[in-house]
Amino acid sequence: MNKEEKKNRTIQQNRALHLYLTWVSTALNEAGLTPEEVLKNFKIELVIIKQNIDTTSPFGKAVFTILAALAEFEREMTAQRTAENMLAHLI
């Protein structure tokens, strides 16, 4: 396998992983679990090397909590904008 084929394979694997994680995240969110609760309840330790996030350390936990809060805020803002747009089109 040449370098270009390896790169394409890695991209495909990353896309598949992203889709899977998105699905899992959606399912957990619908079940009413936050990312922090999932990590704590299932005793999962998350380490993201490129972003230097390690939930086994106090700093990593803080960064993860902040990012999760921002993601939740964005989801809520999107839902609010969607509801407002739907209402505006009904009037």
Q: What's the per-residue H, E or C state across the chain?
A: CCHHHHHHHHHHHHHHHHHHHHHHHHHHHHCCCCHHHHHHHCCCCCEECCCCEECCCHHHHHHHHHHHHHHHHHHHHHHHHHHHHHHHHHC
Average the pLDDT over each of 10-14, 54-58, 71-75 and give the range with the smallest value. 10-14
Give residue 81's pLDDT band: very low, low, confident or very high (50, 70, 90).
Answer: very high
pLDDT of residue 43 exceeding 80, the answer is yes
pLDDT of residue 80: 92
pLDDT of amino acid 84: 92
The pLDDT-based confidence of 82 (bands split at 50, 70, 90) is: very high
